[in-house]
Structure 1
């Protein structure tokens, strides 16, 4: 037996039901009278008028139940709409279709059911009129007949209701239509007109109804109007009849009429539209098209059209010149004729324009003199339906620009390559905005990433502290004040901690006596400078040897590969306190200086046999070998921070390993030159700084997270002392215990965070946002009660991965700030939402507080020790700490606020 029946015309039935616009409407007395009458006639406690859509049974009228709808799959009436006659169930507990129904097993304990389907004029069963009892029984013949009549009355009310609605809609359409709507007679008089007549023509309704319409027609249109009226009198309709109608100002408007006669009443029903502007625009369009034709033919830009087979339909003079043929010849040809050797390219172009509808590109066409013209084109597929599809092409002759651009690109590449090889970069400082721009070589010299954004302070701080930094400050100040350029050789400390020598050159640009710009170049001269310093030192102690070395340097500059050059390189490499090594183009090592052997304790034979494996820290092997293999494969510079074991004490120390490739005149790598610099002290200092920062962050969390519970306890104690009744004191005592528990739990959580800090391992928890909110509310119980605050949440995602203590600290800061900066006479309203947008978690905290003046404080809102309102116990720590915590875990925070209009903080992870 089918316990879930569906009518064969289900789709049409549901559509018809929705067309009646009755679902989810308010109670109506007419329907309520029918259900009450059915209940009285059948002597039952429950009577319903039901309507059934795809998923539910909705009650238009109900007596004896407190619900307005039920799921369709448990409705008795879903069986009633399967037939056109009454469905009667005398005892539902004995009927296989209903004995397990929850309305039979539970309240209202249905036993008896009888219902007639509500069938409209199209045969759609929309629902039923039914009666229900909690005792088994059967209807009499008269009761069944009465139920049938009432069901027909119900469907009549539904149909009549829609007709009334349609009539009201027609009246609205009649009154609000911008078109002219009328009812007239064959005598030429209007019987009824809509308000559009008065708006468009300016006549009053009485003037239009009491004057024969021919009085308003243009004299030249009267004869044609009489013929149209005769046709209407014979029962023929009028379609798109154009007529000029006089306005109250004496001017005429062009009206397009469509009218239909009703012979039985002698009435004419018509609609008119003011097409005066349209006719005017058509005239203007014709003039515009003529101007466009003149523009098209005389334009300096390339313009032509062609069909989908490539045949030319139109072309201007500039296009004919670019295509290299006279216009009359091109108009007889196609794209294939002008490109006989590029048939496949033309085929591909025609196929692509039909598929993509709009394409851009660059092409070339040969000229009669053997030259080639380069031009850009933009093709658009046009298919308006009024004619065969075609393609519009506009373009531009870029032959001269193309050649200049190629020369410019070639020159730019040569300049960039020269700068890269010479290690020369550029820089510029806009004195107005304070913005500094560095070229890629300049960033590479400083050891920063390509995305690094410098400023004047950080740029100066790269220079070695002491004389070098003071000297660059002096020459910059002098250039700004007097315009003097500078050329200095100075030492700086790169982002990687390496001390290198650079040559800094700068100039100043002035306007109206004021420095507006500083600019210059920046060159890595470290190798040169180290050699120079070593040379000078050697000259001081061994002048005679120095002279010999200088002579040898001149020889080295003229001979690329000599034994003397190798010896000098080895001498220089052995004299510096760094490990120096070289390798062949394939990455095989062939030289190490003395410092390598002294540090590692390896002999040349052991080094050749074992290489770096015995001295490199096991945890660094995989990453370092991968970086070296990548450098060898690509020819890009190699750089890696590694730990090398010192032979004297077997201690691993941090080193910065770097290598650059030497290339031949064809750009092929022929040699690698590398070094290892001791950066162990720098790494240890950096680690110490990070640990100090972590404990400072923890201290701020402790101060903030304990402040709330402690403040709540103090506030509750004050309220207890002011309380007069035992019940209030007991209630405050419960709150005090809860705040005390929250304080203890907060301390425990802080201890867990401290343990994590000490282990340098911060885990992510499954944080329930509702629990987090509840914990914070408990911390701030006193403030929430005293200010009568309302905190509402809308969590579309209830759980997120995050360190719980940090997330709770963020929630605490956001909510406590909203409570603190609330209006004195308005209870705080705090709304918290959480949702996933484009794969990212978005938290929003908004309130109705006093707000922040963003024009004054936008730049400082998240800075340490900045406050924005006087008279509040504010330290300027909360927002700074919150932003720090959020950014630590890869998130961002932004704020929208106006004074007196509250604040909205958006956090994205």
Structure 2
């Protein structure tokens, strides 16, 4: 039974979708531009115009996705059209509606989704405009607004497409109509006739277009025809005019004409029917009049006529509806009634212009009946007729939404440029073919050159400091042109004023037909960041010294008698320390802050007692800090918390270590809490740098450890080749050597991928096949396995799992290589690998029949770095330490069971 949500008006919605006749149509660039724009604005790799019928979601336009449709039960959009409002899913893996969805657990690995419903003028949600990403995130308010505007533009395109199709149907109707339809002129010639003329009269189209109509008219009808043509030339319509026309056989057909003139062009538009039979006459006349009425009433935009004072003389129903009025209401009004008062001066100028020149075009602002504003693009012409005098024919298109979207895009561009100015980030581009270099204004500012400066490649490189910086940028450019390798470097330049600066240069290559034709990237001033980095160590040492002194003073105050005089001494001391000092009553109410608190936060004592820390503590730290303080109050344990406080001087949040110790009476009851908050912002940054260094050290250990096995296998196989006498045996060993070499190369490639992942600070999970892991491990250790006649057996109840592939290969390698290394000298190693699901968690075991380990003696040191339990085995004590670190890093746990001379079993639970 399907639990997919369904709109309450699903039947009517599906009928509306079908009426638009858009499903399974070819791609159209108007829609593709909007999806591309949505992808760019929302910075999302996937953008879709998705339409949902009863069984599927079909993509009218897609960016970043190759499929054309997916089952409806998998579509995120089914929730969007059901609620008919914006839907945003920050992390699909945490959302109960989507966490098990095949589009989340598999390709395309959806994590983030945001979509607006495509609601047509009748209120039916046809589908969505949505953006998708493979990482969790949320949109900004401006991105949401832009996505909403683009969704409105998509539904406008769908409606307009239907209208265009209707116009095509009108042309089809012209060609297939049984009525005689023509375009003619007052000189008595047809300019265009439909096939019905030939069907009714027998004459060919060429004959009719080159023959004066009076040659075809019955002689008795010529006078009446001349009268009607005269009326038409004066701008009067002809209705129900009967005329007999000669057929190719020489007889006459009675045609009832309805014709209307176009005074601007002198054309006459007419529809005629063969009314030789009265029944046919009544039927065809009714249809013709209805078609003319529908054509006029449903014309797009605003069509009207008005006099030279701006008073309406006529207008179409569709135009009146766009303004919120009926035609009858507007015929009692004029342009001055619908144009805002502050725009009347422009209206005066428009009327003067069209009176003087006979034409006017441009943009006009009107007010809707509900008070909202409409922007129109108009093209009007002055017309004079003997019957109606001088008047203006107006034709205008509503461009309100397009105008607003253009303004929003202009504002977005302006904000982006301002952001680049603040962040000191510029852009650059190099046209390889033309050898033309382009710098943005910020890039020129960083280089210290004028706005009119025109750079070239040679002088651009010369700005880099001679030596390491210049060599590295030159090598990066050459490599990018050769093979497309991007770069991200922190280098030094000497600008035009001779000032030495640190900059961050990023570059990418663009290829056409395997030839690099463009380099482009960004350029950022990071000089202040580098200066801060150099001062970091000194700052941390200073902060630690101040903290030590502070703690000594606080301890001294706790030991002194709590008299008023001693408290004043404490306050004086606290005010002299450049850190925040505070005290609290046993119930947690604060009763004292030193001077540095007020200087740093800009708050008064009354403000502090009333609001507490809420105005200055970072919102992301407040809840955790409050919880720790309440726990300390409840248990009496010392309070310690790392929080960010906003500095009043510049609004910047800086990290502080906030801690407090209770002062107790002789009976153990708490008399008072003494607390401090000292600035550890530079220290936190130093820790981050230390962690990054530690990660690269760990990576170096993985490199050394993982390459030892393949290289050892190659060395062992080479020795075996040297000792082999049989050519066939040598050939088999050479094949094994080649396979070990390929495995070494693959290992190096995987290590490079791990390094790239570390550099991007995003370690991705892979779908790892455990059978493949066993095969790869066997290949890497083939030399050792052959030399010891080792056998690997498996019982893999679970054959695949989600885990970083490089780390899982390292775990398999360490487990199997340990079993081979610590095997019994006279017993062939048997290594048994199993996988199963136990208590909802993945369990992986490696068991062998080797030397075993005395856990009573060595258990506590089992996974410590540099721990060795068997002498003479070329052991460095790194493998098990690395394995445990890798497993625990990703939420797992490893345990060991072992008995000397029996064997060892490692169990890993994920």
TM-score exceeds 0.5: no
TM-score bracket relative to the smaller structure: 0.3 to 0.5
The structure having more radius of gyration, on CA atoms, is 1
User: TM-score with structure 2 length normalisation?
Assistant: 0.35
User: TM-score with structure 1 length normalisation?
Assistant: 0.35
